[in-house]
Amino acid sequence: MRVVALFCLAAIVLSSDRVIAEVDFERILHAAEEPHNWLTYNGGYSSQRYSKLKQITRRNVDKLELKWILQNQVFGAWQSNPIIVDGIMYLTERPNDVMAVDAVTGRVFWIYRHTPAANTQVCCGANNRGVAVLGDKVYSGTLDGSLIALDRINGKLLWSVEVGDVNLAYSVTMAPIAVKDKIIVGVGGGEYGIRGYVVAYDAASGEQAWKFYTIPGPGEPGHDTWQGDDWEHGGAPVWITGSFDPALNLTYWGVGNPGPDWNAGQRPGDNLYSDSVVALDADSGELKWHFQFTPNDGYDYDSVQVPVLVDRDWQGKPAKLMLWANRNGYFYVLDRVTGKFLLGKPFVKVNWSSGLDENGRPIPTPQPDGMPTWPGNQGGTNWYPPSYSPRTDLFYFSAWEDYATIYQAIEQEYVPGGLFLGGGFSVKVPVHGAPTIGIGRTWPINYWTDEVGHASLMAMDPDTGQAVWKYEQFDVSDSGMLTTASDLLFTGGREGYLHALDARNGKLLWKVALGGQIVMAPVTYMVAGVQFVTVISGNAMATFALQD
């Protein structure tokens, strides 16, 4: 059922000098040239989450003040990433609505309300991470497995297509990405025995353009990494937005865990292309290369982290690189033209592997039954977006340190639409005094707390894979990163603080308590000569600018 509430955007056109212009592919392609906007999920196709804005500086950041707050109407960890176009903000709110908001005042212009089907299942909450904008349309995935296109002016539904079967627990929780004349999305459902894929649709009509399965079928390269019919329900979801290199015409996507999650022995083989990055031709969806981080994963080390694309020297020669802090505890540098492994170093304690070979393949060291595995089930880091600053040449991300899990594998039969987990686990809790991890509490979980982990914001040197500096946090962090041309780094934490750090050395310059867990990265934009920073904390979006 869908209900649409409309508030005419014409009011904003008549009352100000802001004009609603189309966002064509060329604009997104050159997003860095209009830093006053935030035109795609990670700010640009390279996913660096770096802004050239510099009105807010290291010297005046302590003069930031709250300008407006927007409350979500449904309780829960709000994970949307706003898109800002010429003073108008487009974003999703829980559980599955889309809205257009005045980026200066927080006034809501229109809301499109989508009520997911009653049998919708998502493993980790009703999280929709945002929209894509292209032309005169706004695009959003739905928790019950559809892609919708809305009119940017009034929020009217223009078309809707089924991406995956809700009866089999397919969902779309990621923000779509617009590339050329296509809208590309991936599917969630890795805990329910889906067969994952990335799929592209014509932006105008919604007609399917191509589809790439993240588990190869019979006769396809990589199919022999599965046994029997394991591939049919092998997971490998794609639930975080990818990146795009226009010069190579390649889109890059991180692929999630195989299924069942915690019983690797039930699905022998490397289980391609789970826990991999895949490079796909943007026009055809053809696989050009892949790199698998964790073969035959039994730890739920989804590789859905954001592929960050950087052009810089490597060993004295210009190179096209991909930087990746992986959930499995290793930091990687890859050649994004070929997928060649260039560097891999652990950034947290790792004992599931003794290291990586010359091709980047891990050397497995599975722990005895009843003994902890580092990093734990949520990984050394997770899906929250990192940032790369070309000014500092550092890669920034949140890490969970001193955090481990004891796994218990259980043979499980696949049931359509049901959880397909293959066991349970116990957690060395990475927070002070409270358990944090679960997917509906439907399998055996126990918590043990003899030691306590914590979060570190790491600034990584891509040449060495070593942290140049760390900013220690009391709690673990699910927050992503934002860097700016004034050498500021904005991030959050589970304890509800928004932090501004000196990106060069990690010095804390300013922080404010917002009261709710920050589970997305901040973004920045400018309207009428004023730079804003906005972040979602708990159930509310808070937007700051310098004092008048």
Report the chain (548 residues): mean pLDDT per 10 consecutive residues.
42 48 96 97 98 98 98 87 98 95 98 95 88 98 98 98 97 98 97 97 98 98 97 98 98 98 96 98 98 97 97 97 98 98 98 98 96 94 97 97 91 94 76 41 40 79 98 84 98 91 98 93 98 96 96
pTM, full prediction: 0.93
Helix (H, G, I), strand (E, B) or coil at 121: coil
Q: Specify the pLDDT at position 75.
A: 81
**Alpha-carbon span 535 to 138, nearest angstrom:** 21
Report the pLDDT value the prediction gives residue 494, as an integer from 0 to 100: 81
Task: Compute the distance between CA of residue 87 and CA of residue 11 in angstroms, rounded to an integer.
Answer: 13
How far CA 309 is from CA of 38, 50, 223, 356, 394, in Å, comes to 17, 12, 29, 22, 13
Residue 35 to residue 55: CA distance in whole angstroms: 12
Contacts of 293 (CB under 8 A, 6+ apart): 275, 276, 277, 301, 303, 324, 326, 328, 330, 332, 360, 362
Rounded-to-integer distance, Cα 240 and Cα 326, Å: 13
Residue 18 has φ and ψ, to the nearest 5°, of: -80, 135
The pLDDT value given to residue 19: 65
Distance CA 77, CA 95 (A): 10
Indicate left, alpha or beta for 460 from its phi (over 0: left) and psi (-120 to 50: alpha).
beta
Residue 190 token pair:
């890795």
- pLDDT score for 426: 82
Instruction: Write out the catalytic residue numbers.
Output: 300
Query: How is residue 462 annotated by DSSP?
Result: T
CA 72 to chain centre: 20
pLDDT of residue 430: 44
State residue 126's pLDDT score. Answer: 81
Nearest to 184 by CA among 280, 44, 43, 293: 280
φ and ψ at 540, to 5 degrees? Answer: -140, 150
pLDDT of residue 453: 63
Backbone phi and psi for residue 518, each to the nearest 5 degrees, phi listed first: -100, 115
Question: If phi over 0 gives left and psi between -120 and 50 gives alpha, with beta otherwise, what is residue 239?
Answer: alpha
Q: Where does 72-130 show beta strands of DSSP type E?
A: 83-85, 88-93, 97-102, 108-114
**Alpha carbon distance 165, 197 (integer Å):** 13
What pLDDT, on a 0 to 100 scale, did the predictor assign at position 506?
Answer: 98
Q: Which two tokens stand for residue 420?
A: 């397909």
What confidence score (pLDDT) does residue 2 get? 43
SS3 492: strand
